Amino acid sequence: MNIIQILGHVGQDPETRYTPNGQKVTSFNVATNVRKGGQDVTVWYRITVWGDTFDRMMAYVKKGSALIITGELDVPEVYVAKDGQQRVSLNVKANAMYFSPFGKGDKAGQQEGGAATPQKQQMAQQYAEPAFNSPQTAYGQGQGSYTQQNDDPLPF
């Protein structure tokens, strides 16, 4: 299994479909920038969400939203595009998704021409916080998050 973590921007609004046996599938593209040879190169990933795992969050995901996605990377597929050039398809099955607190431009939950409503700001903040800050993590086991116990300098 190949696990990948992506920080990027949504390239199009999510599209939801159903398989012939009724299983829900939501997919969208995410663009990331990689610095290579002094230039920014954009890498696109096709994100697939199976079932209703992120339904509450998907209501706020739209083109331009900054997301952090952790998931399983499928084996890259090479195909020939309409323009005759070979391209690589990078498909990721999402296991965890968060709104990025570092996103530019479109802020999660904002309405056109104005600020976000308090309810949408609260929802966006809830999904912007990664799972390791949750009181349910392995560090706290429901008793709060991990805190540093010793402020002494490191011994090396």
CATH code at 98?
Answer: 2.40.50.140
- Is 31 inside any structural domain? yes
Contact partners, residue 153, CB within 8 Å, separation at least 6: none
Q: Report yes or no on 125 lying in a domain.
A: no
Rounded to the nearest integer, the mean pLDDT of the chain is 75
pLDDT at res. 152: 55
Residue 58, domain member (yes or no): yes
Q: How many domains are contained in the chain? A: 1
Token look-up 């086991």 returns 141
User: Does 73 map to a domain?
Assistant: yes
Mean pLDDT for the stretch of residues 92-119: 63
Domain span holding position 90: 3-110
**What pLDDT does residue 101 have?**
83
Supply φ then ψ for residue 45, to 5 degrees: -120, 140
Q: Give 79's pLDDT tier (boundaries 50, 70, 90).
A: confident
Asked if the structure places residue 102 within a domain, the reply is yes
| C-alpha distance from residue 113 to each of 106, 110, 116, 129 (Å) | 12, 9, 10, 26
Q: Is residue 142 part of a domain?
A: no
